[in-house]
Amino acid sequence: MAMLSIRDMVKGIKERQFTPLEILDKYWARIEKVEDKIKAFISLKPYQELKKEALFLEKNPEGRMTGVPIALKDNINVRGFMTTCSSKVLQNYKPPFDATVAELLKKEGALILGKTNMDEFAFGSSTENSAYQITRNPYDLSCVPGGSSGGSAAVVASGMAPLALGSDTGGSIRQPSAFCGAVGFKPTYGRVSRYGLVAFASSLDQIGPLAKNVEDIWLALSVISGRDEKDPTSSSNPPINYPGKNWQPSVVGFCPDLLEEGVDENIKDSFYEAISIYKGLGVTVKEVHLPHIKYGLSIYYLLASSEASSNLARFDGLRYGQRVKGETYNEMIENTRGIGLGREAKRRILLGTFALSSGYYDAYYLKALKARALIREDFRQVFTEVDLILMPTTPSQPFKIGAKADDPLQMYKADLFTIPVNLAGLPAVSIPLSLKNDLPVGIQLIGRHFEEEQILNAALMLEQERGEFPPPKLPFLCRSETS
């Protein structure tokens, strides 16, 4: 049962082949077996509470996600769960409301198992910046799972849940998906409501799903997408259709300039393998150029840090979260932030505050905004020639825990291929293509605004040609134990 697709899982429940409780018990046994080694969850709902929900769903199996166990990144509010963003400044904070995505999933009968570990406030690419624990990659426990949605990716890859939600500001769904052999989707900006998501960079953030296959991603997107009156930035476009129309790309573009330096040979080999697959399927593969994409990292870290410095100003100990006493108002705020925020959070706040400060705003922040518009225009021009753009998801495979922890510039480069998508507000998917040295390699497909179904169809083609992706080989994760 635990290896079923979400569609078949729900179908089996509705046809009384098995019950939501039987599904829950399979995944709960898996969690008990592997979570202490992976450390993907920040918090878990008690089993007895989940059991009550599963028994209720057995009598009321109408929802499209009935009985499906899911996990949510710990920056997405769920009533009854703590939302810490893996930061001590929000230690023990329980929100009084559900994020819109959590509300939609509950309405369709999903079972929310718990909240997943992440880099503090989504500041990172390895999940090493969590204030509570380091999550490990299910394919190699000595490696990082990626970030900042590393906990969500590890939950899916290790079989503790068939579906998880993450957030993607500069690649935080796609990069950990690539590192953990999962499928991760970043929707068009505004396609999924951000209401109830703790903001990192409001013009870049987007919630999206992670799963083991493209079909499960498609179903999840159909549930969580759509207009939300509580989020003024959400699009008026209707929810994504599931199942959608069968569509095959006629022209796929690739940008060879990005592969010139700093990209591992294993990544290049898998990338050209993906090109060969599409050519073999009769798709025209065309070389394209994105002249300003090389500035993406610099643009992103100016804009995202600037927005973060503004968004994190609310965490002062006055209204919610941790409060550290001081003799004066300013001392209390200084103590709260000094103790409650981690090193990477402080680094980004300082960078962003500097970029926004008097005398530097025009030189840095405003210039970055103008350069962002150039990247968006580059993509618009390319999409007049091609249907989709193919590129690697990451420049390297999963790296060892601690290998880049003291080198923030090297860590930032882990998002080299994902950041431009967020700057342009485009939809993109990462799909695992191959194992190299027993570690996953992900391939990214990027599409036009609000053309998620085209990306999903193209990803399905790649998935079907690739065949079943190899699961982790660690003894306690072997697939036979989930059946």
The residues carrying an active-site annotation are: 73, 148, 172
Q: How far is CA 434 from CA 20, 167, 264, 274, in A?
A: 33, 24, 14, 10
- Among candidates 82, 91, 87, which has minimal Cα distance to 349? 87
Q: Which residue has the tokens 């068939």?
A: 162
**Rounded-to-integer distance, Cα 115 and Cα 131, Å:** 15
Burial of 195: CB neighbours in 10 Å, binned 0-12, 13-18, 19+? buried
What's the sign of the alpha-carbon dihedral 204, 205, 208, 212? positive
Radius of gyration from C-alpha coordinates of the chain:
21
Please give the structure tokens belonging to residue 275: 């090109």
Distance of CA 447 to the CA centre of its chain: 17
**Rounded-to-integer distance, Cα 176 and Cα 86, Å:** 16
**Rounded-to-integer distance, Cα 452 and Cα 224, Å:** 13
Please give the structure tokens belonging to residue 59: 């009598």
467 phi/psi in degrees, rounded to 5:
85, -175
Q: Which residue has the tokens 């769920």?
A: 78
- CB distance 64 to 223 below 8 Å: yes
Q: Which residue has the tokens 């495979």?
A: 397
- CB distance 49 to 159 below 8 Å: no
